[in-house]
């Protein structure tokens, strides 16, 4: 018989090695004993799995210190019995259950997996950690595995065991700190969590699975057993997102507030596929960027405080719905970028915070482990298992769901140990500096691995500082991103445009300064969600002047932006000049499209995207000086700038002229690259966009041999008020 102390430990949920005592075991008298813990059961019988015959009824041990019955059953099998496959027949007060014994199965993780997990080099830890439905020894069930190296005991709990942590304690694989258990009969859709007894004996609030592939809809917090999505092979044709010479025009979307149902409910993945995808495609965008789709507890975080990095949020339906949405995007010719948040996570008790009772995923020292601005916890990038968890997650979204790129959030907060901290509130690195060397290594490694394993996938850095070489390869000392958001350009240009045109001459350098560093990185020009929240107002509302001038200013901004070197990003609502600041709790103001001025802005975005895609000079050489040439950068008195964009064909060029005042300028002379005709590609003042329809007759201008701006040839143009002109050189 099992020692009384071990029975008590089992019944109290304090036993750390259940496989040593539960299931079938021999004793020193060469007898076989069978033991099981079934709290609340009336009786337990052993069934021969091959014949179905009852072998023996187990006896219940009664422990006075535990109040008598605790549900521990055991019995010695008849002398000479050799090990055999068996099932347990459990008699409950409300019925009978027949099941295989979880403690009769072998280990789940292979020696190789153990080795790779222990050294933090398992590229795809999600293939083994988490909950995986399948078969072992012909028995259908689910394998559970979770990393909790400092725990005294870990149990799987769920509806299948009445959330009783005594019922299914797990086996510890000490080499890597992972607990594992195969539960027969548990399949897709079952709710589960982990009950963890910390090293100091505390039983923690139930924890969701860090590797859970699906989760309940908030406010519920359980993980759901879900089969790992099958890997999606990436078509070789889908690689425009990582090509520096491709047109990239990104429509950034918060799925919960793009459009809502009549009752205010979220659209599901199917409805989003049927509405959002054709809408973005019709407007000519090449990419959809989705604010984080990982599971998160609080709607107001917009997904930027995720707790289920491996689970698409249940707000829009099951995980396969997201997978189908991505497929539908690809069929429509749209690539999909998702915002990815490896910088920090919230402190909700069902999440990663002090996961096994101690700081596991986060730093123990709050000077390293707590975000001052957001009250969140910072991942410990120097811990190999955490490193593995995050690198694996980057691969997971690209390989298993087929997304085309990751926009990495809050990179600046990762790079600096003193980010948003005063002196004395941060810990220097080993060299005494402020750089977070572990985070730098992590970002480089993520980009290296994605480059090796997922050719064609792109990564985008939201990095707001002057950290050098963000978009250069790690081999050159860079971070390895394909693109970086140009936050400096965005702030300068929006600040310039908020000034009344009469004062813009004093701020002219804000238009031109970005070209001093435009080719130091591979930039995306972002007019993102961050610019239309927290009291900043909408883009249209920030423009000065009367009603007409506000729209003209916005159209001029878009014209300048689409001609400027760099890929493009526009947050939803900006494409039709939404007046109200973005509200994540409601829908966009779609009724505004009934008004010509708003519909005109939308028509402009459609044409800008078309011209951008069809004109190689506007996108082929975005990140080299050879793709850009100033004609007139210094006319601050008139608030006019003019420049050329060039593609690979040196004989072709596109001239862009922007007038940022409401004054029509007749006979304005602009230097030209050579003789020939200049055909108007786009005029943001067109009546089709809500403008005054001022322009050049028939949209054609001919170069004259009159020197201007240091050039032998020039054009005499009529510049529309608050507008941008695109002219294609034909010669």
The DSSP secondary structure of 415-437, one letter per residue, reads: HBTTTT--TTSS---TTS-SB-H
User: What are the DSSP calls for 159-218, one per residue?
Assistant: GGGTT-TTT-BPEEETTTTEEEEEEET--TT-EEEEEEE-TTSPBPPPB--TT-S-BPPT
Pairing type for strands 523-527 and 483-485 reads: parallel
- State whether residue 358 is helix, strand or coil: coil
- Token readout for 548 is 């007409």
pLDDT for residue 65: 67
CA atoms within 13 A on the CB side of 140: 5
Same fold, 111-224 and 619-730: yes
Q: For the chain, give every domain's residue range.
A: 4-100, 111-224, 619-730
Which entry of 295, 339, 362, 409 is annotated as an active-site residue?
409
User: What are the DSSP calls for 569-625, one per residue?
Assistant: EEETTGGGT--SPP-TTS---GGGGGSHHHHHHHHHHHHHHHHHHH-GGGTTTSSSG
For this structure, is 409 an active site residue?
yes
- CB atoms near residue 420 (< 10 Å): 13
What homologous superfamily does CATH list for 4-100? Answer: Immunoglobulins (2.60.40.10)
pLDDT for residue 232: 77
656 bridge partner residues: 643, 726
- State whether residue 628 is helix, strand or coil: strand
User: In angstroms, rounded to a whole number, what is the distance separating the alpha carbons of residues 568 and 251?
Assistant: 9
Nearest one of 66, 19, 61, 28 to 44, comparing CA atoms? 61
CA 43, 49, 55, 59 torsion-angle sign: negative
- State whether residue 544 is helix, strand or coil: coil
User: In angstroms, rounded to a whole number, what is the distance separating the alpha carbons of residues 477 and 665?
Assistant: 48
Nearest one of 729, 730, 674 to 704, comparing CA atoms? 674
CA atoms within 13 A on the CB side of 311: 31
Which position has the token pair 């300048």? Answer: 560
User: What are the DSSP calls for 101-150, one per residue?
Assistant: -GGGS--SS-HHHHHHHHHT--S-GGGTSEEEEEEETTEEEEEEEEE-TT
Kindly tell me the burial class for residue 547, based on how many C-beta atoms sit within 10 Å of its own C-beta (0-12, 13-18, 19 or more).
exposed
> Does the domain spanning 619-730 belong to CATH 2.60.260.20?
no
What homologous superfamily does CATH list for 111-224? Answer: Immunoglobulins (2.60.40.10)
Q: Please state the pTM of the whole predicted model.
A: 0.95
| DSSP state, residue 372 | T
pLDDT in tens, 469-492: 999 999 999 999 999 999 999 999
CA 508, 510, 515, 517 torsion-angle sign: positive
User: What are the DSSP calls for 671-728, one per residue?
Assistant: EESSSSEEEEEEETT-GGGTS-----GGGEEE-BS--BTTBSEEEEEEEPTTEEEEEE
* Rg of the chain on CA atoms, in Å: 32
User: In angstroms, rounded to a whole number, what is the distance separating the alpha carbons of residues 54 and 52?
Assistant: 7
Q: What are phi and psi of 392, to 5 degrees?
A: -60, -35
- Token readout for 241 is 């997102």
User: In angstroms, rounded to a whole number, what is the distance separating the alpha carbons of residues 539 and 142?
Assistant: 51
Q: What are the residue ranges in the chain where pLDDT is below 70?
A: 65-68, 234-242
User: In angstroms, rounded to a whole number, what is the distance separating the alpha carbons of residues 647 and 729?
Assistant: 12
* Terminal alpha carbon distance of the chain: 98
Pairing type for strands 665-672 and 713-719 reads: antiparallel
User: In angstroms, rounded to a whole number, what is the distance separating the alpha carbons of residues 471 and 462?
Assistant: 11
- CB atoms near residue 233 (< 10 Å): 8
Where is 414: in which H helix or E strand? helix 411-415
Pairing type for strands 567-571 and 523-527 reads: parallel
User: What are the DSSP calls for 24-38, one per residue?
Assistant: EEE-TTS-EEEEEE-
Which entry of 289, 362, 462, 531 is annotated as an active-site residue?
462
pLDDT for residue 30: 81
Q: Output b/e per residue, 526-536; b: 16+ Cβ within 10 A.
A: bbbbbbbbeee
Question: Edge-to-edge, what's the strand order for the sheet holding 191-197?
Answer: 153-158, 191-197, 223-224
User: What are the DSSP calls for 458-476, one per residue?
Assistant: EEEE---S--TTTTS-GGG
């Amino acid at each position: 018989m099992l020692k009384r102390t071990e029975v008590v430990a089992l019944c109290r949920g304090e036993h750390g090695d259940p496989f040593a005592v539960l299931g079938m075991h021999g004793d020193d008298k060469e007898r076989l004993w069978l033991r099981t813990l079934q709290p609340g059961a009336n009786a337990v019988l052993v069934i021969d799995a091959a014949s179905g015959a009852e072998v023996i009824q187990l006896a219940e041990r009664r422990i006075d210190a535990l109040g008598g019955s605790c549900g521990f059953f055991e019995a010695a099998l008849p002398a000479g019995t050799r090990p055999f496959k068996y099932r347990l027949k459990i008699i409950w007060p409300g019925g009978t259950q027949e099941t295989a014994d979880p403690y009769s199965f072998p280990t789940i993780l292979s020696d190789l997996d153990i080795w790779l997990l222990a050294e933090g080099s398992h590229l795809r830890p999600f293939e083994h950690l988490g909950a995986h439905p399948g078969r072992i020894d012909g028995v259908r069930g689910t394998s559970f595995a979770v990393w909790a190296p400092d725990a005294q005991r870990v149990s799987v709990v769920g509806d299948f065991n009445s959330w009783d942590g005594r019922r299914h304690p797990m086996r510890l694989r000490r080499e890597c700190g992972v607990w594992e258990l195969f539960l027969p009969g548990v399949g897709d859709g079952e709710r589960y969590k982990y009950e963890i007894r910390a090293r100091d004996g505390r039983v923690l609030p139930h924890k969701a699975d860090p590797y859970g592939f699906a989760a309940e809809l908030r406010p519920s917090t359980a993980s759901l057993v879900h089969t790992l999505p099958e890997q999606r092979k990436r078509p070789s044709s889908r690689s425009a997102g990582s090509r520096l010479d491709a047109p990239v025009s990104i429509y950034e979307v918060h799925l919960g507030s793009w459009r809502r149902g009549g009752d205010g409910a979220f659209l599901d993945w199917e409805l989003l596929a049927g509405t959002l995808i054709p809408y973005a495609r019709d407007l000519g965008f090449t990419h959809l960027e989705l604010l984080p789709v990982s599971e998160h507890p609080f709607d107001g975080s917009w997904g930027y405080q995720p707790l289920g990095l491996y689970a698409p949020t249940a707000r829009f339906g099951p995980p396969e719905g997201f997978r189908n949405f991505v497929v539908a995007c690809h069929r429509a010719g749209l690539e999909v970028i998702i915002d990815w948040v490896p910088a920090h996570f919230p402190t909700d008790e069902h999440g990663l915070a002090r996961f096994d009772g101690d700081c596991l995923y986060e730093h123990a020292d709050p000077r390293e482990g707590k975000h001052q601005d957001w009250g969140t916890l910072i991942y410990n990038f120097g811990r190999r298992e955490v490193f593995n968890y995050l690198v694996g997650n980057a691969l997971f979204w690209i390989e298993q769901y087929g997304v085309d790129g990751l926009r990495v959030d809050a990179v600046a907060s990762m790079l600096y140990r003193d980010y948003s901290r005063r002196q004395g509130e941060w810990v220097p690195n080993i060299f005494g500096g402020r750089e977070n060397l572990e985070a730098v290594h992590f970002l480089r490694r993520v980009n290296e691995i994605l480059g090796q394993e997922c050719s064609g996938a792109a990564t985008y850095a939201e990095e707001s500082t002057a950290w050098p070489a963000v978009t250069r390869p790690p081999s050159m000392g860079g971070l390895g991103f394909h693109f970086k958001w140009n936050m400096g350009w965005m702030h300068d240009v929006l600040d310039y445009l908020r000034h009344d045109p009469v004062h813009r001459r004093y701020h002219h350098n804000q238009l031109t300064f970005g070209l001093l560093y435009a080719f130091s990185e591979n930039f995306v020009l972002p007019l993102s969600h961050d610019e239309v929240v927290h009291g900043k107002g909408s883009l249209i509302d920030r423009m000065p002047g009367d009603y007409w001038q506000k729209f003209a200013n916005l159209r001029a901004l878009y014209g300048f932006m689409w001609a400027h070197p760099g890929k493009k990003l526009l947050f939803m609502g900006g494409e039709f000049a939404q007046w109200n600041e973005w509200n994540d709790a409601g829908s966009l103001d779609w009724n505004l499209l009934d008004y010509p001025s708003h519909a005109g802005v939308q028509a402009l975005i459609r044409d800008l995207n078309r011209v951008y895609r069809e004109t190689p000079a506007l996108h082929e050489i975005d990140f080299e000086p050879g793709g850009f040439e100033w004609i007139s950068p210094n006319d601050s008195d008139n608030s006019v700038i003019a420049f050329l964009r060039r593609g690979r064909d040196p004989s072709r060029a596109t001239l862009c002229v922007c007038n940022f005042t409401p004054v029509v300028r007749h006979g304005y002379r602009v230097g030209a690259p050579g003789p020939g005709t200049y055909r108007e590609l786009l005029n943001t003042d067109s009546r089709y966009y809500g403008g005054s329809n001022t322009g050049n007759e028939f949209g054609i201008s001919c170069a004259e041999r009159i020197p201007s701006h240091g050039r032998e040839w020039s054009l005499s143009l009529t510049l529309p008020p608050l507008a941008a002109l695109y002219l294609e050189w034909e010669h």
